[in-house]
A and B are shown apart, each in its own frame.
Chain A
Amino acid sequence: MAEKRETPQLDELEKGPWPSFVTQIKRAGEKNAMADDLLGLLEKSYEDKVGHWKHGGIVGVKGYGGGVIGRYTDMPEEFPNISEFHTVRVAQPSGWFYTTDMLRDICDVWEERGSGLTNMHGSTGDIILLGTHTDQLQPIFDDISDKGFDLGGSGSDLRSPSCCVGPGRCEHACYDTLDMCYDLTNEYQDEIHRPMWPYKFKFKMSGCANDCVAAQARADCSIIGTWRDSIIIDQDEVKKYAEAGLDIQMDVCHRCPTHCLTYDKDTQELTVNAEECSRCMHCINVMGKAIKQGKEKGATIMIGAKSTIVKSAFMSWVVVPFMKMEPPYTEFKEMMDRIWDWWDENGKTRERIGELIYRLGMGEFLRATGIPAVPQMVYRPRANPYVFWQKDEIEE
């Protein structure tokens, strides 16, 4: 680069023990003019206390309607190298497992054709390649495609599904989250790459109710691993926890939300009333060597989560209490097809599935999709008597 930029405000953020994003931008800026201009623009934002990116931007690659976020600075004269500074979303492997060789492949392409800056990863899960020019988009896609990568989602499409580490490294996984994520991503490539819906739709898979990818809060369809039979208690291991000083009465039984655990201090035995257990994972989290999940495993399907805009934030709610989750996931996919058809038909522009169900009612949703109403869908029944009856439920 020609001369060293003055960035007094950002320099402050190179101090301190937490790894610094400023150091990252500077390091990229040493050999990349786009990254160096980004540093200058960001310093300007720190001075002005406002962003310096223009509204919107519509760019992409041939054959796809999503995957690239266009961005243009409002100060192109001062920072010409980022007059165009688009983001490329690249679909991540399930569970963000990588080999070093494939990461180097991505780095090589991005060093040649982009800013050299990335996000590892975007909140939805994608590898984010941060900042390039329009004329580089197709070459980037061609290059990463050669290396076995593809773009992720953006716009009113199926966004890139993501999942927890699952059976790859967790004893709590109740189904193969990694496989299901990969399977759904491949099955629905068309829905990911060519936006055709009222708005975005996200899948997330968590192997148990600890929900390590926050599926219940961040996905329109949240698939949460669970089991249907009793937890399994190993009494010898219970004794070991007691002898190691764990206060089983206080830290396990007392915190059980359904009080279905009983601990006998004298015999050091822990018993469960399995029918009352809601499978919240607390006891298993605290004494995992002594308590294992049941054997009959599957997942709870929940729907509707979204963030604030427009009608407030929603968390997903139960639509199917228990479904077996085994490849090729036919029962699940058939249900999703019915749900998407209904949403595509009835959803207003920019209306998430959760808001559509809220607007038209769960009754409409369940009748349209053939999903039976069950008490597990609600915390408690309605308190008002304003009930809609269907014509065929009424005597002529």
Chain B
Amino acid sequence: MPKIDNGPPDYRKNLPPIIEQNYGKWDYHESPRPGVLKHVGPAGALYSVRCASPRLVCVDFIRDVCALADKYCDGYLRFTSRNNIEFLVSDEQNVEPLIAECEAQGMPVGGTGASISNVVHTQGWVHCHTPATDASGITKAVMDDLFEYFQRDDLPNKLRIAMACCLNMCGAAHVSDIALVGIHRTVPRMDHDAIRKGTEIPSLVASCPTAAIRPDPKNKSVTIVEERCMYCGNCYTMSPGMHIMDSKNDGVAILVGGKVSNARTAPSFSRMVIPFLPNNPPRWPEVTEAVRHIVDLWIENARRGERLGEWIERIGWERFFSMSGIPFTDKHIDDYIFSRETFRTSAAFKY
């Protein structure tokens, strides 16, 4: 019989001795080079070597990582909240040889300080039933293109990219400097048989943010008011009969300017700047090009320390659109519950 309600393993048994000794007593940290952090406490220094990971990894990759951690870190390592790997090195001598081996094994070192670190992303076509695009593929294409910024730490500030394969926005897309979000653009095609067999109708009706779905008791199914539907796909989450995926019309929206840290300015949501780009696997060139364009514009124009959203709020969104050349359309103007506060109720703006 397995033990149930066992809980997770006790983290205290997984801490290297240097961490046990400095626990809660750290004095300061610095970054000797991109990808390496040096934390100093009364018992000495810990060096953390941060490596990129594709997040989706096989067991033999994990074993390779373990072999490196055994060789250089007495068997201790951790993962970050952006799914990078951190080798916890207590002997400074081991830092450079470890970096060399990581790079040789295809695990680039970087992602610290004012850099572009890993992309927080989701399941996509690899494992989810509601995606409008793939997550792993776009992440790979974007990070290949922005790779130099993973290994540099001299950008205006850090820049966080997140990817969500549908509007459920699992992860951090709603609060990232740049967010890539899979979207649909067509009304669900109803399979009334499947709705009847596999659906709790009231829950399906309640799932629609715009109340476009109405019960149809005569047919033991539902109807859709097509002009009220904005294709969020939440009805498909509730019912296998509401087919929303559309190979020709699904694609990717880009939102920018979100952040979660409280430093300087309050946490903020990402805002839509490109309502639609096509799904163009395997490299999604339209998406990678748009992201690179926004990143480079920010690097060129932001002041030292400004996150992407802070820069845009300073110059004004109208200036962001004119500088970026991204066309502004009716799609950018909010028309959902909290929209009014996004309208400009001031005569102060730039031409």
Contact = CB atoms under 8 A, between A and B. Distances in A.
Given A9-B281, A18-B147, A251-B304, A119 B56 contact: yes
Interface in B6-36: 6-11, 13-15, 19, 23-24, 26-29
Contact of A123 (B63, B130, B172): B172
A104 B56 contact: no
Contacts of A390: none
Given A209-B262, A310-B209, A185 B60 contact: no
A214 B81 contact: yes
Contact of B175 (A42, A145, A315): A315
A285 B263 contact: yes
A262 interface: no
A21 B234 contact: no
Interface stretch (B163-171, B219-227, B289-297): B163-171
A94 B81 CA distance: 11
Contacts of B281: 9, 46, 49
A370 interface: no
A18 B8 contact: no
Interface string A88-117: 000111111111111110110011000011
Contacts of B203: 349-350
Contact-residue size bin, chain B (C-beta under 8 Å from the other chain): 35 or more
B250 A50 contact: yes
A214 B305 contact: no
B211 to A, nearest CB: 11
B261 interface: yes
A325 interface: no
Interface stretch (B91-99, B119-127, B316-324, B343-351): B119-127
Given A53-B128, A97-B14, A257-B265, A13 B137 contact: yes
> Which among B78, B83, B261 has the greatest number of chain A C-beta atoms within 10 A?
B261
Nearest to A72: B129
Interface in B139-178: 139-141, 143-144, 147, 150, 167-175
Contact-residue size bin, chain A (C-beta under 8 Å from the other chain): 35 or more
A53 B127 contact: yes
A120 B107 CA distance: 15
B9 to A, nearest CB: 5
Contacts of A257: 264-265
Given A286-B305, A315-B175, 14 more contacts: A16-B140, A21-B136, A53-B129, A94-B8, A107-B59, A168-B15, A169-B48, A170-B29, A218-B171, A218-B172, A307-B168, A309-B234, A311-B337, A350-B206
Contact of B169 (A102, A150, A182, A308): A308
B240 A55 contact: yes
A281 B337 CA distance: 33
B2 A56 contact: no
Majority secondary structure, B binding face: loop
B207 A99 contact: no
Nearest to B151: A17
Given A93-B11, A280-B262, A171 B58 contact: no
B326 interface: no
3 residue pairs, one from A and one from B, having the closest CB atoms = A16-B144, A55-B240, A167-B24
Interface string A280-302: 11100110110000000000000
Contacts of A23: 106
Given A104-B66, A210-B263, A38 B175 contact: no
17 contacts: A9-B281, A13-B282, A17-B147, A101-B75, A118-B56, A123-B122, A123-B171, A165-B78, A168-B23, A189-B6, A280-B264, A281-B261, A288-B28, A310-B207, A313-B174, A349-B203, A350-B207
B55 interface: yes
A269 interface: no
Contacts of A279: 262
A147 B60 CA distance: 19
A10 interface: yes
A384 interface: no
A150 B4 CA distance: 7
A312 interface: yes
Given A12-B282, A209-B263, A214-B260, A150 B7 contact: yes
Contact of A111 (B59, B61, B127, B198): B59
A346 interface: no
Given A13-B140, A56-B240, A145-B3, A50 B262 contact: no
A213 interface: yes
Contacts of B59: 28, 107, 110-111, 116-118
A46 B5 contact: no
A217 B267 contact: yes
Contacts of B237: 309
Interface in B49-66: 52-63, 65-66
A64 interface: yes
Contact of B58 (A35, A185, A289, A311): A35
B127 A71 contact: yes
A63 B226 CA distance: 43
Nearest to B129: A53
B264 A289 contact: no
B6 A150 contact: yes
Contacts of A313: 169, 174-175, 269
Contacts of A35: 58
